[in-house]
Amino acid sequence: MRPGGREPQQAPGRESGSLDVRRYLVLLRESIVTFCAIAVGVTLLGVAVSYVLPKRYEAHSSVSVEQNVVNELVKGIAITPSLEAKLRILKVSILSRKMLLAVIRDLDMDLGRQGEQLEILIENTRKNVEISYEEKKGLFYIRYRDASPERARDFVNALTRRYIEESTASKREESYEATRFLSDQIEVFQKRIEAAQKAIDAFKSEKGMILSMNESILREEIKETEHRLEETRIRKNERLAQLGILEKGTGGGRLAEKEAAYKALLGTYTAQHPDVVRAKAELDALRASGGGGGGRKGGVDYQRIKVELESLNEIERIQQELIEKDKRLLQELPAVQTELQALQQARKNETLIYEQLVTRYGQSEVSKQMELQDKAVSLRIIDPAILPIRPSTPNRPLIMLAGLLLGGAIGAGWVILSDQLFRKLRSVEDLTAMGVVVLGALPRIASPDDARIGRHRQVALAMSVTVALFVVGLAAAEYSGFEAFDGVFARVRNIVSNWL
């Protein structure tokens, strides 16, 4: 409770925590001198900054990127750079150190600069170059900013011209190099194909007999030779049996014995069984010799059988060698065929690459002619850079008006901040807001000091309005191209720079 039994009350029309507009208007009127001083100071500082900042002029040229209709006619035949590839490398090429250094030297911008100073110049130049592309119009814009309008214009034109010239020259050189490379590779692969063919011919000459054979025919020959070998062995066994009978010379009892043995074998085996065949041969020999009584080793039959046996042995040996040879060839044939296929595949691969190189060589010839005649993607200067009349930076009207607004904002902010930090009682409402009961108030009595303060306020306000109007008029003049103050500020800058 406050003295008097009343709670603190808010002033009429004011809410807790809200901004009292009337109070701050009164505060602004009382602190008008401070407000005007700050506002005018900041505004004049903005004007000074707008003139102190060096002028920079921007020149630009427009370049058209055209794709010739010939590209569609030779599509799939010639290899030409696409429009997208052209656009990707354009910016990188223009901003390359080699390109910028060449233009700098063309314009003598590097006079007196070497080493690190030259590198700094190149880097600063790269920062001042801007490249943009307008897809709808198909135009590239190359921009450059410099303190000299003449140098800005000359730099853009020189950069654009040099890029187009070097781009055309490099394309032609690349086409020549590609054609030369393909020609060399064609010769290399021709020799490789010839070497592969010689290897195949030599292999066929060495393994020709094996390669001329057929696996199924070999198998049939082996089967047939084995059958003939079996027949030869049967005949050999017959002759051996006959020879044995003649050597033993047994009588009729032996014939009966042989007949009994032969019948016993027939009861067990078939007529083609070797034992049966041999028994039959012995039986026939005994019968032919009249029971075996007249056989002698020195007889004609004996000698004949001997000769036949020797002939059958030789035939058997030859047949066995033939079978072994055919089996060996049968085993070697798959490996030889595989090796031949590998040699033929190598030649086929070399031939395939050779054919592709020949095709590419033809495409390269067409591409080279297109590059020589500028029939591919071409660059054309639509609008060369002209001398810029007005600087692109600084934007003086904008800086002046921004300084004017910023000065007013800073002045008002200073007044309000001062009131918050150093709060004073200026009205009955201030006491009421604090909960103090006001019993009465005396009107303010004007004094000579109040009149003097009032005149100061009026002068400050008039000066502020005059400065504001002057700044607005100056901004309008700068916007229209009036540059009467440039010389004054230029001399001031020179004096300050010399003094520093």
- One-letter amino acid of 199: A
Split at pLDDT 50, 70, 90, the class of 406 is very high
What does the pLDDT read at residue 19? 47
Q: Is the pLDDT of residue 259 over 80?
A: no
| Euclidean distance between CA atoms 174 and 168, whole angstroms | 10
What does the pLDDT read at residue 66? 58
Question: Does some domain include residue 246?
Answer: yes
Are 492 and 404 part of one and the same domain? yes
Which of 156-165, 340-349, 380-389, 451-460 comes out lowest in average pLDDT?
Answer: 451-460
Query: Which residues, 6 or more positions from 261, have their beta carbon under 8 angstroms from its beta carbon?
Result: 279
Question: Does some domain include residue 265?
Answer: yes
Q: Is there a contact between 28 and 417 (Cβ–Cβ < 8 Å)?
A: no
Q: Is there a contact between 396 and 478 (Cβ–Cβ < 8 Å)?
A: yes
pLDDT, one tens digit per residue, over 55-98 is 888 998 988 865 543 344 334 434 445 556 566 677 788 888 88
- DSSP collapsed to 3 states, the chain: CCCCCCCCCCCCCCCCCCCCHHHHHHHHHHCHHHHHHHHHHHHHHHHHHHHHCCCEEEEEEEEEEEECCHHHHCECCECCCCHHHHHHHHHHHHCCHHHHHHHHHHCCCCCCCCCHHHHHHHHHHHHHEEEEEECCCCEEEEEEEECCHHHHHHHHHHHHHHHHHHHHHHHHHHHHHHHHHHHHHHHHHHHHHHHHHHHHHHHHHHCHHHHCCCHHHHHHHHHHHHHHHHHHHHHHHHHHHHHHHHHHCCCHHHHHHHHHHHHHHHHHCCCCCHHHHHHHHHHHHHHHCCCCCCCCCCCHHHHHHHHHHHHHHHHHHHHHHHHHHHHHHHHHHHHHHHHHHHHHHHHHHHHHHHHHHHHHHHHHHHHHHHHHCCCCEEEEEEECCCCCCCCCECCHHHHHHHHHHHHHHHHHHHHHHHHHHCCCCCCHHHHHHCCCCCCCCCCCCCCHHHHHHHHHHHHHHHHHHHHHHHHHHHHHHHHCCCCCCHHHHHHHHHHHHHHC
Question: Does some domain include residue 391?
Answer: no
DSSP lists the bridge partners of residue 380 as: 64
What does the pLDDT read at residue 72? 42
What does the pLDDT read at residue 155? 92
pTM above 0.75, yes or no: no
What does the pLDDT read at residue 154? 92
| Euclidean distance between CA atoms 369 and 182, whole angstroms | 16
**Which residue, 130, 136, 156, 152, is CA-closest to 55?**
152
- Burial (CB < 10 A; 0-12, 13-18, 19+), residue 118, is middle
pLDDT, one tens digit per residue, over 202-241 is 888 887 777 777 778 888 888 998 888 888 888 888 778 7
Q: Is the pLDDT of residue 319 over 50?
A: yes
CA distances from 303 to 145, 308, 315, 374 (A): 126, 9, 18, 103
Are 96 and 26 part of one and the same domain? no
Are 331 and 470 part of one and the same domain? no
310 vs 435: which has the higher pLDDT = 310
290 vs 34: which has the higher pLDDT = 34
| Euclidean distance between CA atoms 40 and 34, whole angstroms | 10
Q: Is the pLDDT of residue 290 over 60?
A: no
| Euclidean distance between CA atoms 156 and 62, whole angstroms | 10
What does the pLDDT read at residue 147? 86
What does the pLDDT read at residue 420? 74
Question: Does some domain include residue 327?
Answer: yes
Are 221 and 322 part of one and the same domain? yes
Q: Taking phi first (over 0 means left), then psi (-120 to 50 degrees means alpha), and beta for anything else, what does residue 108 get?
A: left
Split at pLDDT 50, 70, 90, the class of 469 is very high
Structure-block tokens of residue 176: 């020549």
**Range 418-429 average pLDDT:** 69
What does the pLDDT read at residue 252? 46
Q: Is there a contact between 415 and 27 (Cβ–Cβ < 8 Å)?
A: yes
| Euclidean distance between CA atoms 160 and 158, whole angstroms | 6
Say which CATH number the domain at 68 has.
3.30.1890
What does the pLDDT read at residue 294? 43
How many other C-beta atoms lie within 10 A of the C-beta of residue 410?
A: 16
Are 349 and 312 part of one and the same domain? yes
Q: Is the pLDDT of residue 490 over 80?
A: no
Are 136 and 264 part of one and the same domain? no
Structure-block tokens of residue 20: 């009292």
Structure-block tokens of residue 69: 């209709």
| Euclidean distance between CA atoms 51 and 54, whole angstroms | 7
Are 410 and 493 part of one and the same domain? yes
| Euclidean distance between CA atoms 289 and 304, whole angstroms | 14
Structure-block tokens of residue 421: 């930090």
Are 71 and 159 part of one and the same domain? yes
- Can you say whether the dihedral through the CA atoms of 38, 40, 43, 47 is positive or negative? negative
DSSP lists the bridge partners of residue 421 as: none
**Range 250-269 average pLDDT:** 64
| Euclidean distance between CA atoms 37 and 361, whole angstroms | 82
| Euclidean distance between CA atoms 299 and 18, whole angstroms | 157
Q: Is there a contact between 400 and 474 (Cβ–Cβ < 8 Å)?
A: yes
Q: Is the pLDDT of residue 249 over 60?
A: no
| Domain tally, the chain | 3
Average pLDDT, the chain: 76
**Range 149-171 average pLDDT:** 83
What does the pLDDT read at residue 6? 42
Are 293 and 371 part of one and the same domain? no
Q: Is the pLDDT of residue 18 over 50?
A: no
Q: Is there a contact between 175 and 368 (Cβ–Cβ < 8 Å)?
A: yes
Q: Which residue segment(s) compose the domain that 423 sits in?
A: 21-53+398-437+446-498
Question: Does some domain include residue 205?
Answer: no
Question: Does some domain include residue 196?
Answer: no
Are 251 and 284 part of one and the same domain? yes
Question: CA-based Rg of the chain, rounded to a whole angstrom?
Answer: 60
Which of 274-288, 315-329, 424-438 comes out lowest in average pLDDT?
Answer: 424-438
Question: Does some domain include residue 192?
Answer: no
Are 38 and 129 part of one and the same domain? no
Question: Does some domain include residue 343?
Answer: yes
Q: Is there a contact between 245 and 295 (Cβ–Cβ < 8 Å)?
A: yes
- One-letter amino acid of 256: A
Give the relative orientation of helices 215-248 and 300-372 as an angle to the nearest 10 degrees. Answer: 170
Q: Is the pLDDT of residue 244 over 80?
A: no
Are 26 and 92 part of one and the same domain? no
| Euclidean distance between CA atoms 414 and 37, whole angstroms | 11
